[in-house]
Amino acid sequence: MEPAAGFLSPRPCPRAAALPAPPAGPGPPRAAKPGPELEMLGGPPAPDPGRLITDPRSGRTYFKGRLLGKGGFARCYEATDTETGSSYAVKVVSQSRIAKPHQREKILNEIELHRNLQHRHIVRFSHHFEDADNIYIFLELCSRKSLAHIWKARHTLLEPEVRYYLRQILSGLKYLHHRGILHRDLKLGNFFITENMELKMGDFGLATRLEPPEHRKKTICGTPNYVAPEVLQRQGHGTEADVWSLGCVMYTLLCGNPPFETVDLKETYRCIKQVHYTLPASLSLPARQLLASILRASPQDRPSIDQILRHDFFTKGYTPDRLPASSCVTAPDLIPLNPAKILFVKVTKSLFGRKKNKSKNHPEVRDEVSCLVNGLTRTSICHQDAKPEVPAASGLAQVSLVETAPEDSSPHGTLASSGDGFEEGLTVATVVESVLCALRNCLAFMPSAEQNPAPLAQPEPLVWVSKWVDYSNKFGFGYQLSSRRVAVLFNNGTHMALSANRKIVYYNPTSTKHFSFSVDAVPRALQPQLSVLRYFASYMEQRLMKVCGLRWGTLRATTFQSLPRPLRGGDLPSVEEVEVPVPPLLLQWVKTDQALLMLFSDGTVQVNFYGDHTKLILSGWEPLLVTFVARNRSACTYLASHLRQLGCSPDLRQRLRYALRLLRDRCPA
């Protein structure tokens, strides 16, 4: 538990009645007597009497275990029934802390509201009692603590993870509002996680009954970073205040900090009242749209819970059925399914979902295994534990792509694509998620054809990787764009780029932090990385084939000489963050024995095939454009919708399928 509010307004109230008794009826089932083996050892060891909690009415005793959390009025411990072995989270409220009538009334109100709630995503209320020293409230134990602990370990979560948690929060919140209850303190520390990674909403210390508008509460309560503007302005608040807090929770999980957080509480309140916050460009367009719709000054302008659940962020984005326990401390590997799985759930499960009891000889499994590619080297921006390998030998085998059955065969009909508009600063998960959807939709119903349809006569100008150097065994991956901007994705997850005129340096310590400097003003701490960047630029300029238009040169580099060791972390001097649009940067690269795949922050995906130097570039997204550079280096751009309707040549079809398999198997979102 985190501290609840700390700024509840005291108010006069009548003297509270005695604490209500526990529900009538038999208590929890008692355990059987110890078996012979336990009796031979003298029975279980006697608990420390100082850590025993005894119900004065029933005589039942509980062993008080580890501290789980503490707040302004209470401490929460793990507790075990000494007879049954049942485990609980017990909230212990000292009688001395609730000596004033309004303080005791607060505890009575919490018990009265919580004891009657029964919902999958609300912490279960078990029972309560009191003695001369404390009040004890026994609740469902959530062994993996809370979202606050996950956030502290992870700082930011992937969008599919956020959808997973928000769906459960919204389910519990809808139940509360239907029961006429406002939570009024939605925050990360009040969302508890069970052993099987299920979310439970808890801590009803500030909850209250929903009143008609003319009688609504005007008390300022909640947690500063999550409180709604109408609460601060004492305008009376309803369910819309909980929706606002939910938006702050969503923002915090996606961006790493609350939207209105400042070093000064008064400044935080000012920002909340003026709804002054920023939406990072790294968020997907649906995420930014949903946050903007929730964080609105007027409560009437905010969406309802049902409207939130119908938003594109939920309906067109992948949500995992469950998360691994490892996601409490590290980003999980999530393999998204087609967003149209609601229509074709059985088909998509058989094609993309692998079950534990599925036979290894099943043809679908054999096909999936045959899709795996070997010789993988992978580096992601902000992927701190990436282990780069020594580059492969310069001799490369010709790419061998065998025509197979369609990767994703589905019932005849129309599959809805994700429709997510891509802009600068997307995450790896969002890019992969949407590319997979688009490619599956394109290939699922593509008819057979011997040649490509007519290309676009005047395609939009395309920025693509014209040269690249893999030196990940020591420093990182360097590349040059067709715009002549040169960049390096370093092994430590940072990214640095040099503008085409070589006068501006762009530095990205993470995919959401963007800085720029003139070349002469780069901080000393970044000079080693700048030296490596300049060497990469010089090498590609002098040693790799020059590029003209879309006639692309050889992209393979030979062995480097020893270079200065790049910067690998450490404190940086304070610099001014850039407000101008950030050039697209490489988020992740994946290299197999046949091809190189690159994912960019503007949503572009480029696949270079070594043996014949053909290339595949997916870009645009509204609509999706497919650019294919053939063996003779001629480039043609097609609308993905045309390819889906008219088909394409075997060469292009093979490469589209290869890109799909590579994204699915090696770039989990």
Give how far Cα 580 sits from Cα of 285, 462, 599, 601, 625, Å. Answer: 18, 21, 22, 15, 27
How many Cα neighbours within 13 Å face the side chain of 427?
23
Which amino acid, one-letter code, is at 142? Answer: C
- 317: closest CA among 334, 302, 295, 292? 334
**How far from the centroid of its chain's Cα atoms is residue 75's Cα?**
30
Which amino acid, one-letter code, is at 438? Answer: A
Q: Name the phi and psi angles at 36, rounded to 5.
A: -60, -40
Q: Give the separation between CA 491 and CA 509, rounded to whole angstroms.
A: 12
- 53: closest CA among 29, 32, 76, 72? 76
Taking the CA atoms of the chain, what radius of gyration do you get in angstroms? 29
E-state strands within 366-433: 377-380
Q: Give the separation between CA 44 and CA 35, rounded to whole angstroms.
A: 11
Which one of 48, 81, 133, 185 is the catalytic residue?
Answer: 185
Is the bond preceding 623 in cis, omega lying within 30 degrees of 0? Answer: yes
CB atoms within 10 A of CB 356: 4
Give the helix/strand (H/E) hosting 72.
none
Q: Give the separation between CA 150 and CA 592, rounded to whole angstroms.
A: 33
Which amino acid, one-letter code, is at 3? Answer: P
For residue 561, give the DSSP letter.
Answer: P
Is 306 catalytic? The answer is: no
- Is 91 labelled a binding residue? no
Q: Give the separation between CA 272 and CA 20, rounded to whole angstroms.
A: 39
279 touches 289 (CB < 8 A):
no
**Which residue numbers belong to the known binding site?**
100
Q: Which residues are catalytic?
A: 185
**Which residue numbers belong to the known binding site for ATP?**
100
